[in-house]
Structure 1
Amino acid sequence: MYRLLIVDDEEMITDGLYETLSRCNLDLDLCKAYSGREALDWLHRTRVDIVLSDIRMPGIDGMQLLSVIKRHWPHCRVIFLTGYSDFDAVYRAIQTPGVQYLLKSEGYPKVIQAVDQAVAELNDSLRVNDLIQRAQEKLNTLEVLARGEYFRHLLHGANPAANLAADFRKLSIPLDAERPVYVAQGDLSRASSAVSSYASRHESAMAVTLLAERLLNGQVLSLGMIDRFGDVVWLIQPSADRADASEEEEDRMSFLSYLVGQFELIQQACMSSLELSVAVTLGDRPSKWGKLSATYDKMRRQGQTRTGDGGQMVRMLSLDVSCCARERSPRDKSDALSAHLDAGRREEFLQLFDELTASEQDNGSPYLLELYYTISLVLLSYINRLELENQVTGFPALMRPDEFACWKDAFAFLRAMSGELFELRSSGESNRAAEAILKVRAYIEEHLDEDLSLVRLAGYIHFNPSYLSRLFKQSCGMNLSEYIEAARVERAKALLKNDDLKVLEVGVRVGYEASQSFTRFFKKATGVTPQEYREASRT
Structure 2
Amino acid sequence: MYSLLVVDDAVYAVDGIADSIAWEELQISRILKAYDAFEAMSILESEAIDLLICDIEMPEKSGLELLEWMTGNKMETETIILTGHAHFQYARQVIQLGGHSYLLKPPDYDELKGIAGAALEKLRKKRESKFHGEAYGKYAGLWENQLPLLVERLWQDILSERVLFDESRMNDTFAQYGLPVSYSDPIVLVLLSLEQWRGELTSRDEQIMEFAVRNAASEVILNGLQGAVMQDGNGDNYALIYPRSETSPEALEQLISTQCRTFIDSCYELFGCQLSCYISSPVTVRGLSGAAKRLLQQERNHVNSNREVYSLSHEVPRTGNTHMEPVYSDWEMLFERGRAEELGEAVDRFFAEMGREVVHVDVLEAVYHGVLRMIYNVMHKKNMMIRRVYDAEELLEISSATRSLQALRQWVKGSVSKGITGLKEQSKPSLEVIEKAKRYMMDHLSEDFTREDVANHVYLNAAYLSRLFKREEQISLSEYIIGQRLNWAKRLLETTEMKVGHVAETVGYSHIPHFTSLFKKQIGVSPQQYRKEVKST
Q: TM-score scaled by structure 2?
A: 0.33
Choose 1 or 2 for highest CA Rg: 2
Structure with bigger RCO (C-alpha 8 Å, 6+ apart): 1
TM-score normalised to structure 1 length: 0.33
